[in-house]
Structure 1
Amino acid sequence: MNSSIYHPGPEQPTPEQRLLLLNDEQWEAFIERCARQLKVEGIYLQVVRLGGAGDKGRDVCGYSQELPIESTWDLYQGKHYAVTLSPSGFAPELAKFLWCVFSGEYTCPKNYYICALRVGPALHDYTLNPDKFKAWILLEWKQKSGNFGTFKQTLTPELEAFINGFQFDIIKVKTTADLLEIHARSDKHWEVFGVLPARQPNPVMPETPGAEEHQYVKALLEVYEEAGQVLCSLPSEIPNKYKKHFKSQRMLFYSAEGLYRFSRDKLPGAFDELVSQVEVGVGSDLNYPHPDGLTKLTKVLATANGLQVTANPLHARLQAGDLGGTCHHLANQGRAKWVDENE
């Protein structure tokens, strides 16, 4: 038997599988984070989690204005059901919701989202056929004489008339896939599920360096000034033979800048840690005396590109120029210099 062959271990659970492991409290917290991501995106002005005794069926609310008048807010019903949610399992919550709107406990929301781990086909079909849904809950109310177990209320003529006029199309299923798609856009997705979304395109490199590039560009100008034996205080003064090299270094910087922006939005702090890891990895070359700055820069970039940074979660989103680009970010922060003052 080949001793070098070993089992890589079990596959990590998917986000969908991780959701099944959540308890009631964690499930509501997950739904709240999804709603808060929508707040970040400008959908809501305020998000409130009310789940608990006395919430009147409002587990999480997303408000688009300070005073929640009719159709200006969304209600997320986020009970953690142990089984697939059927119409009968949902009936007490639906009856409570209709009663609360009828009695003025709160205004009618724009959307009522059923957020359950598993919604059965029968309940799903009812949400797609509002008239059948309405007829069904009225029949249930009469057959149960208003006793839904966890909610009890007599169906008066006034309440029945209200339900008959109610727009049942506001009641919708928010699937786990829908919620995960929202959550994946937040900076908590890695923390909760260990999954990073796809990386967006790198920022476009401007024709001329901006003020935010000043420090690392200055370090490069010192390299070209030394190599060409000419005064080089501006990019326009770079000798022709080094202009393509300068452009390629800026491309590396913007590659790493794309990774920085991805980290800032999805995994705060990870890019800073990566830059520190690169600083340690290239430390020997960075501090070793080289004959000139260009040689030093070339050696440091080569070492950086060969580093293994698998301990950092961003390693799964690295692109070709990222590790080399972090060296220019080090220079931009004053932590790396290519031409030593005593050379």
Structure 2
Amino acid sequence: MMALPPTLTPKQHLVHHSAEQWEEFVYEWVMALKGVGYVDVVGMGGANDRGADIAAFLTAKKTDGAWHCYQCKHYDKALGPATAYPEILKIHSAVAEKKYQVLPERYVFVAPKIGGTLIQLLAKPSELKVTFFAWTEKNADKLLEEYGAAPLQRALDLAQQTDFSCFEAGNLDKILEQHASTPHHVRRFGTRMPNRPAREQAPAEPAPEEARYIQQLLAVYAEKWNGSAASLDEAGAHPKAGRNLQRQREAFYCAEQLRVFARDSVPPGTFESLQDDIYSGVVEVEERDFDLGYDRLHAVLEAARNMQLGSNILLSVERPDDRKGICHQLANEDRLTWVQEEL
């Protein structure tokens, strides 16, 4: 038998990212850091990024107040001082020229590989500062041509006042660990879905957000059993309607749990895409003529259970009641109707 090719690790995947994909990955990671106190995260990269690819704001003042800067670098070789020094100068120039009001409190270089020399310099800010100014002196003519004499001097004057301990390098292992908690990790790296939590029972009393689909079910029961089981109390006491209602509510809560799981585990819109696929597969059944809404309800649920779906990643964690519950979510939004008035 032929051996299957080895699966790439997330770190190996990142080596093959383009610069744009790398910046998207870093943005996803920084968004996951909102819990540390960021009020917003903005991608600012581009040809004129003014020294900041991604800005994370600690206050509503944005770059006029406390903020952090994440500079994304994706090269084949390890990031070294020769690449870092121009970026350090660029952020000082941007502040000196009032493009930003203040320097970021943290300036983080994020690259797949950080060279040992730069790591050592970042660990000793005083030496980083000395070597930075040695670099500016060595490249004075080129920098004068690029910035102009007065703007360059303003940037260097600001750098002289700066505590270079604000400059640091992101740890890729830690970044990947934190990224794994985001909804983007599975899609980006093709890793396994996290384990879905154990199923919980529906609460004894219906919640307000259940009102519409339960109202639709009560209409089904009233039609099916000649006006009986038209209220929750009557349905609960009915030998068949009560059991049916309980099963439908359990399915609804199963699908609601999948919705929450999707929110925390996969990219936005994944669950809604699954809902739309199921709706597309059952709406033709729902539109057929039936003698009773009860028949329409069960025909739709059966169609949802048996339909072939595409490649939605949530299908790998699907439970038997999820599709039935999604039908009730659709009924809750009046996208599906069981008892239909004659036209």
For normalisation by structure 1, the TM-score amounts to 0.69
CA 1:315 to 1:14, structure 2 compared with 1: closer, same or farther past 3 Å? farther
Q: CA separation in 2, counterparts of 1:248 and 1:14?
A: 42
Tell me if 1:219 matches 2:213. Answer: no
1:46-88 Cα shifts (integer Å, max 9, x gaps) = 63515435x4533332333336356x01111223333112345
From 116, 139, 147, the counterpart of 2:139: 147
CA 1:341 to 1:189, structure 2 compared with 1: closer, same or farther past 3 Å? same
Contact 1:184 1:196 in 2 (8 A): no
1:259 alignment counterpart: 258
1:23 alignment counterpart: 18
Q: CA separation in 2, counterparts of 1:42 and 1:136?
A: 28
Name structure 2 gaps, 5 residues minimum. Answer: none
Contact 1:75 1:112 in 2 (8 A): yes
2:163 alignment counterpart: 167
1:117 alignment counterpart: 112
Q: CA separation in 1, counterparts of 2:293 and 2:275?
A: 21
Q: How does 1:31-70 map to 2 (within 5 A)?
A: 31-32=26-27, 34-35=29-30, 43-45=38-40, 47=42, 49-53=44-48, 55-63=49-57, 64-66=59-61, 68-69=63-64
Q: CA separation in 2, counterparts of 1:68 and 1:211?
A: 42
Q: Percent same amino acid among aligned pairs?
A: 29
Tell me if 1:236 matches 2:233. Answer: yes
Name structure 1 gaps, 5 residues minimum. Answer: none
Contact 2:196 2:317 in 1 (8 A): no
SS of residue matched to 1:43 = coil
1:82 alignment counterpart: 76
SS of residue matched to 2:210 = helix
Deviation for aligned residue 1:192:
5.6
CA 1:74 to 1:200, structure 2 compared with 1: closer, same or farther past 3 Å? farther
Q: CA separation in 2, counterparts of 1:196 and 1:226?
A: 46
CA 1:243 to 1:173, structure 2 compared with 1: closer, same or farther past 3 Å? farther
1:290-335 Cα shifts (integer Å, max 9, x gaps) = 8976676556545533444243333134234211212222433445
Deviation for aligned residue 1:247:
2.3
Deviation for aligned residue 1:102:
7.8
Structure 2 counterpart of 1:134, which letter? S
CA 1:210 to 1:150, structure 2 compared with 1: closer, same or farther past 3 Å? farther
Kindly report the root-mean-square deviation, in angstroms, between the aligned alpha carbons of the 2 structures.
4.8
